[in-house]
Structure 1
Amino acid sequence: MATILVVDDEYLIADILAYALEDEGFMVVTAGNGKKALEVLERERPSLIITDFMMPVMDGEEFAEAVRALPAVKHLPIILISGAQAHIGMQRSDLFDAALDKPFDINKLITKVKELLG
Structure 2
Amino acid sequence: METVLVVDDELGILEALADLLREEGYQVLTATHGAEALARMGELRPDLVLTDWMMPVLDGPALVECIRAEPGWSGVSLLGMSAVDVGALRAQYPSIPFLQKPFDIPALMKQIRKALDGQRALSG
Question: For the superposition of Structure 1 and Structure 2, which TM-score range results when normalised by the shorter chain?
Answer: over 0.9
RMSD of the TM alignment (CA)?
1.2
Letter of the 1:15 partner, please give it: E
Q: Match for residue 76 of structure 1?
A: 76
Q: Match for residue 66 of structure 1?
A: 66
- Would you tell me which structure has more helix in proportion to its own residues? 2
Letter of the 1:93 partner, please give it: P
My pick for the range that moved more, 33-42 or 85-94, is 85-94
Kept after mapping to 2: 8 A contact 1:68/1:75: no
CA–CA distance in structure 2, aligned partners of residues 42 and 89 of structure 1? 27
CA–CA distance in structure 2, aligned partners of residues 116 and 47 of structure 1? 9
Q: Percent identity?
A: 38
Letter of the 2:86 partner, please give it: A
Query: What is the TM-score when the length of structure 2 is the normalising length?
Result: 0.88
Question: Which stretches of structure 1, 4 residues or more, deviate above 2 A after TM superposition?
Answer: 85-89
CA–CA distance in structure 2, aligned partners of residues 68 and 100 of structure 1? 20
Give 1 or 2 for the bigger CA radius of gyration: 2
CA–CA distance in structure 1, aligned partners of residues 69 and 94 of structure 2? 15
| Gaps in structure 1 of 5+ consecutive residues | none
Kept after mapping to 2: 8 A contact 1:54/1:60: yes
CA–CA distance in structure 1, aligned partners of residues 29 and 60 of structure 2? 16
Q: Match for residue 115 of structure 2?
A: 116
Kept after mapping to 2: 8 A contact 1:80/1:89: no
| Gaps in structure 2 of 5+ consecutive residues | 118-124
Kept after mapping to 2: 8 A contact 1:4/1:28: yes
Q: Match for residue 41 of structure 2?
A: 41
| Alpha-carbon distance change, 34 to 88 in structure 1, aligned in 2, over 3 angstroms | farther
Q: CA deviation at 1:93?
A: 2.4
